[in-house]
Amino acid sequence: MALALVSVVAVVAVVAAVALDLARRRTAGELATARAEVERLDALLAAAHAERDGLRDRAARHEQEAGRLRDEGDELRKQIEDLTLLLEATTAGRDGADEREVAGLWHLLRAHVTRRWAAVVGVPPDGRTLADGGPGDQFVEALSRETERLREEVGVEVDLAVPPAGPERLGEAGGTRLVAMLVAALELLGALATSAQRVTVEIGDKLVITGDGWSDPHGELAVAHGRVAAAGVGVGPLDVDGERVRLVLRP
Q: How confident is the model at residue 98 (pLDDT cuts 50, 70, 90)?
A: low
Nearest to 211 by CA among 194, 224, 223: 194
Q: Check: CB of residue 113 under 8 Å from CB of residue 79.
A: no
24-33, 42-51, 148-157: the lowest-pLDDT one = 24-33
Mean pLDDT of 186-212: 92
Q: How far is CA 234 from CA 65, 168, 226, in A?
A: 38, 17, 12
Residues 6 or more apart from 97 whose CB is under 8 A from it?
175, 176
Q: What is the mean pLDDT of residues 92-105?
A: 65
211 pLDDT above the threshold of 60: yes
pLDDT at 168: 63
With cut-offs at 50, 70 and 90, classify the pLDDT of residue 147. Answer: very high
Q: What's the pLDDT band for 63 if we cut at 50, 70, 90?
A: confident
Q: Is the pTM of this model over 0.85?
A: no
CA-CA distance, 76 to 144, in Å (whole number)? 18
Average pLDDT, the chain: 80
How many CA atoms are closer than 13 Å to the CA of 16, on its beta-carbon side? Answer: 6
SS3 208: strand
C-alpha–C-alpha distance, residues 174 and 108, integer Å: 15
| Count of Cβ atoms closer than 10 Å to residue 236 Cβ | 14
For the stretch 24-40, pLDDT in tens is 777 777 777 878 888 88
What would the mean pLDDT of 170-190 be, rounded to a whole number?
80
Rounded to whole angstroms, the Cα distance separating 120 from 68 reads: 16
- Is it the case that residue 4 has pLDDT exceeding 90? no
Q: Is the pLDDT of residue 163 over 80?
A: no
Q: pLDDT at position 11, please?
A: 63
| Kind plus residue range of the DSSP H or E element containing 114 | helix 99-121
Residue 132: what are its φ and ψ, rounded to 5°?
Answer: -95, 5
User: CA nearest 142: which of 98, 203, 197, 94?
Assistant: 203
Assess whether pLDDT exceeds 80 at residue 217: yes
Q: Does the structure show a pLDDT above 80 at 92?
A: no
Give me the pLDDT at residue 105, please. Answer: 85
Q: What is the pLDDT of residue 70?
A: 67
Using pLDDT thresholds of 50, 70 and 90, give the confidence band for residue 166: low
Domains and CATH numbers, the chain: 76-250 (3.30.565)
Backbone angles phi, psi at 104, to 5 degrees: -65, -40
User: Residue type at 89?
Assistant: A
Please state, in angstroms and rounded to a whole number, the distance separating the CA atoms of residues 186 and 83.
7
189 conformational bin, left if phi > 0, alpha if psi -120 to 50, beta if neither: alpha
pLDDT tens column, 101-145: 778 888 888 889 999 999 998 888 888 888 777 888 888 899 999
